[in-house]
Amino acid sequence: MKGITPAALGAAMRGDLENFIVASTPGGIELQEAQGQRDLVNAEVARLPKDINDHRFSGKDAKEVYALTGIEVTGECDDIFLNVKLPAGWRLVPTDHSMWSELVDEKGRKRAGIFFKAAFYDRNAHFGFTSRFKVAEEPEDAYNSEASYQEREKMPRFGRVYDGGKVVFETAGRAPVETKSGDMASWEAQSKQEKELRAECETWLIANGYPEYSDPLKYW
């Protein structure tokens, strides 16, 4: 049928009038996804995904994994969510992307990211823990200015350690390595610089008592 999207056609064939209207309305799917995010973060009974998207917990039951951070699973919600009781002060907050929300603790620190696609034809969700510390190799503006790609290519490069989103250590800036198409030596030099800046950050973290900084369950 001309002009009907596959999602709308599928809903029509199932006799799902409500979602047929959603899929046939311009922007309808986006509105459904945004409503899904609002429902998630404003739910009277908190819920989190059954799918833990972290290889470190592969094969472990979600209830057991959530318990590691004091989250209590209280029962089934539906096919992709569990009802949970969060630690005191913890809450779900939306991001500016309708498919992503965050779990923050009593201090407002991000403890996890939650992906939830509420579109009826591909409804799914997963949960991923966030480490307290993050190591980054980045340009001087940390991608926070309106500089163009070409302008950033000329900026000094820094290694930075973030603690809950705030910079707590920064290396000395280094002149950017100019890369040239087909010149493997220049790309290798750039990669070497990135590894060295990251290594400085890791050395700082270890010296300050955070050898397992990448573990999302440590140092909170």
pLDDT tens digits for 29-77?
899 999 999 999 999 999 999 999 988 888 889 999 999 999 999 999 9
Q: In whole angstroms, what is the distance from residue 25 CA to residue 7 CA?
A: 11
Q: Where in the chain are the domains?
A: 6-129, 133-207
Q: In whole angstroms, what is the distance from residue 115 CA to residue 100 CA?
A: 5
pLDDT greater than 70 at residue 192: yes
pLDDT tens digits for 112-171?
999 999 999 889 999 999 999 999 999 999 999 999 999 999 999 999 999 988 999 999
pLDDT greater than 80 at residue 10: no
At 3, is the pLDDT very low, low, confident or very high (cuts 50, 70, 90)?
low
